[in-house]
Amino acid sequence: MKIHHLFWSICLCFSTHILFAQNYQKTSSGIKTTVNAVDIEVQFFAPAVARVIKSPEGVAYEKQSLSVIAKPEKVSFKADIQDNKIVLNTSELSVSVDTGTGIVSYFSKDGKTLLTEKSGMQFIDFDDAGTKTYQVYQPFVLDKEEAIYGLGQLQNGKMIQRNMTKNLIQGNVEDVSPFFQSTKGYGVFWDNYSPTLFTDNEVETSFRSEVGDCVDYYFMYGKNADGVIAQVRSLTGQAPMFPLWTYGYWQSKERYKSQEEVVDVVRKYRELGIPLDGIIQDWQYWGHNYLWNAMDFQNPTFNNPQKMIEDVHAMNAHMAISIWSSFGPMTKPYRELDKKGMLFDFTTWPQSGLESWPPNMEYPSGVRVYDAYNPEARDIYWKYLNDGIFKLGMDAWWMDSTEPDHLDWKPEDMDTKTYLGSFRKVRNAYPLMTVGGVYDHQRAVTSDKRVFILTRSGFLGQQRYGANVWSGDVASTWESFRNQIPAGLNFSLCGMPHWNSDIGGFFAGHYNKSWNDDSASKNPLYQELYVRWLQFGTFNPMMRSHGTDVYREIYKFGKKGEPVYDAIEKMIGLRYSLLPYIYSTSWEVSNRQSSFMRALMMDFVDDRKVWDINDEYMFGKSILVAPIAHAQYTPEAVVKVSEEEGWNRDGAKKTETDVAVDFTETKSTNIYLPAGTLWYDFWTNEKHEGGKEIAKETTLDVIPLYVKAGSIIPVGPQVQYATEKPWDHLELKVYAGANGNFILYEDEFDNYNYEKGAYTEIPISWNNASRKLTIGARKGAYEGMLKNRKFTVTLQDGTQKSVDYSGKAVSVKF
C-alpha cells in the first residue's frame, strides 16, 4: 500500500509539474502563454521595460514597430507560478500574468502596485480595405488620485489628462501619440498608428484602435518623470544635438513675397542691432498652386535663390524654407511619383489652383499627398529637395502639413493603399515617416551640417530625427495662448523635447481694422498679446515669431524708446544672454535624456499642488517660468477661429482697435512657488520660501521668472548672432541656499563631430556650507576650443569675484 501511495504521489507531482510547465513557455527575453484563447507574450527590453503582445490564439501576424527601434534584451529574470499567476521578476520590476483571466499587472520591487490591466480586452473582426484584421481594445485600472500626462500635443488647456475621452488622430493643431506617464513613475506606450480612442473615466483608462493585428504596448518604470522619458528615448531613439544658431531668434511670417524682402528683413535687424539667427521663407516661392511644393524656385520674384541664400549668410544669419508633404500636378516630383503609384487620392491643401478664398473648385489644384511610408518615395522626395534646394546652401527645413492635411474627409479615404497597408492602419505615423525620410537622407549626404527640421506634426520617436514640432495654425487669442503652455508641456512629457508655437498666434486678422490693412501691429490689444506670447517663446526650445495677416518684425511694432518695441528687444536680448545655459541644457537633453520645458511635477512631484498647474514650468532645471497669460492692459477679445476658417478673412469678427492704453503702468500677478526649495526673483534677486503663492509686480517688459536655490546659470555676451563672440568671458550667476551643480558644454556648434567625442564639459559646483564655487577640470577636447578664459562669479546678493581658467580645477570662496 505504501509503494502504491508513493507511486501515485510521484505521478501527481510529475503531472502537476507538466501542467505548470504548459502554462507558459520561457523565451530569451520573457515568456509566452495562452489564456482564454488569447496568446500573450511578455518581452523585456530592459529590467524596467516590458512589452506585452496579445493576439487571438494561433493567429499569425507580422508587426514591425515604426516608433520603437530598440530590440528585446537578454534581461536576467526569474519566472514561476504564484497563486495562479505567472510572476516575472527582474532587478527593477515584477510583472504578473493571471493564468485564469490573462490580466497583466505591474509592481515595483517593494511590492507597490503600479498598474494593472482591466478585464474586457477585445479583438473585433474588421475588414481593413480587404485585409482581415481587428479593432483592438485594452483597458487599465488607474488609482483615483494618480495624475497622468502626455498623449502628444492637445489644445484642451489641460495639464492632467484625466476624466476625458479623446480621439487620437493627427491634425493641424493637435499632434497625437498614444502614450501617457503617471505621477507613480511609470509610462505606457500603445504601439498603434491607427486612429485611437483614449478614454479615462471612473471605470477605466483605455485605448481602442480602429485597426490592429494585435494588442501591443510597452510598460516602462522610470520611478520619476525623467526616468520614464529616458526609457522612452531608449526605446524610440535619442534626440540629436541641434546647431547653436537654432537656439537664437527666428523671424518669419506668412509670407515674404520676394527674395529682396527676405534679405531686407535680415539687413534691417542688423541695422537696428537686434539679434537674429534665422529667417524663414514660407510657401509659394515655387509659383502658382499647380506648381505646389515644386522644390524649385519658379516664382519670378525669387529669380536668384543662390544669391538670396548667400546674402543671408553674408550677414551671419541662416535660412529655412517651407516644404510640404504634397505636390502640384505640374511639378517634376509629382510626375515621377504618380507614374510609380506613390500619390494618395484624398483631398488636401490647397484645394484650388487659384489663390483666391474660398477655394474655387471649378479650378481644382490636383495637389496630392505622397506615400511617405514607401522608402522609394522618400528617396524621390529627397532627390528633388537635394538638387533643387539643399545644394544651394539651404540651412534648415520647415516641413509643413506633415500630419498631412486631409480635407473633406470621407470614410473611404482611410482605405487608401500605402506601402505599409491601408492609410487607416498607419495614419498617425505619417509625420514620423516623412520627417524621418528627410533626416536620414541629409545625414547620408553630409555630417558637416546638423539637420534641423521645423515641422507641424509629430509622433513618438520623431525626436530621433532632428525635429522641432510647432503647434500649428493656432488662433491669435488669449485662450489659444493659454492652451499652448500645457500643450507644449504634455508634448515634452512624451519624450519629444523640441517644441514651439507661432509667437503671437497664426491668425491675427481679427485685430486689423479690415482684413488686409495690417493694422494689428499697432493695435494695443494685439500688441499686449504678442509681447506676452513672445516672453513665453523666449523660454521655448525654439524662439520663432510667425503668423499671417500681420507683420511680425520688431520694427513694425514701433521704435526704440516705446514700451512695446523695448519689451520685444529686451526678450530677444535675454534669449541670447542665456545661450550658454540653453546650449548646455541641449546637451543634457541629448546626452542625459533631459527636457527643456519641464512640467512642475517633474521636479516637485512631492508637492501635490503643482500636479495640475498649467501655466508655469521649469526651463531647464534652474529657471521657473510663469508666463502672464491673461490680458492686464486691454480687454481680451473672444474670437473663435479654426485653422480652416481662419483663412476666410472676410468673415472674421473684428476686435476693437481704438483703445487707450498706458503700457508703462505696473500690474500684479500671482505665482505659486513649489515647495522644498528657496526661490530667487530673476529680476530683483528677492528671496522667497517655496510652497506658497506670492504676488509679483510686473510691467509689460517683465515675465515672472524665479531661480531655484543652488542654481548656477552661465550668462553669455551681448551678440547680434549666436556665434558672433567666443564664450571667453562668461558670467556665472550663483544662487546660494543649497548645493548645486552645472555642466558647461561646448563643441563645434554645427556638425556631428560631437558624436565622435569632439566636445568639452566643464563641471561647476557650489558648496553652500563652505560658500565655495569649484570650476572643475575640463573634460574632452575639440579643434578650436577655448583653452583659456575668464569667469566672473556673481552671487545673488551682487557679490562678484573673477577667476582665470585654463582647464584645471579652480575654486572661488565667498
Choice among 128, 174, 400, 761 that is catalytic = 400
Residues 794-808, buried b or exposed e (16+ Cβ, 10 A)? Answer: bbbeeeeeeeebebe
Which residues are bridge partners to 321 per DSSP? 281, 397
Q: Amino acid identity of 687?
A: K
Q: Amino acid identity of 783?
A: E
The cell for 755 is: 558624436
Between CA 264 and CA 23 the distance in angstroms is 73
Choice among 473, 528, 615, 701 that is catalytic = 473
- Going by C-alpha positions, the residue among 434, 325, 452 that lies closest to residue 397 is 452
Strand 453-455 to 396-399 pairing: parallel
Query: Are 713 and 581 within 8 A, CB to CB?
Result: yes
Query: Are 437 and 468 within 8 A, CB to CB?
Result: no
- Going by C-alpha positions, the residue among 573, 568, 579 that lies closest to residue 620 is 579
Active-site residue, 403 included: yes
Choice among 311, 403, 607, 615 that is catalytic = 403
Q: At what angle do helices 524-538 and 478-492 cross, to 10 degrees?
A: 10
What is the rounded (10 degree) CA torsion for 288, 293, 295, 298? Answer: 0
Active-site residue, 473 included: yes
| SS3 of residue 680 by DSSP | strand
Sorted by sequence, the CB contacts under 8 Å of residue 576 that are 6+ apart come out as 248, 249, 275, 716, 718, 719, 722
Between CA 527 and CA 536 the distance in angstroms is 14
- Please provide the DSSP assignment of 318-378 as one string: EEEEEE-SEE-TTSHHHHHHHHTT-B--S--S--BSS--SS--TTSB---EEB-TTSHHHH
Active-site residue, 400 included: yes
Query: Are 279 and 394 within 8 A, CB to CB?
Result: no
Q: At what angle do helices 524-538 and 563-577 cross, to 10 degrees?
A: 10
Sorted by sequence, the CB contacts under 8 Å of residue 255 that are 6+ apart come out as 281, 282, 283, 284
Between CA 129 and CA 425 the distance in angstroms is 10
Sorted by sequence, the CB contacts under 8 Å of residue 203 that are 6+ apart come out as none
Query: Are 319 and 306 within 8 A, CB to CB?
Result: no
Q: Alpha carbon 285 to chain centroid distance?
A: 28
The residues annotated with a catalytic role in the active site are 400, 403, 473
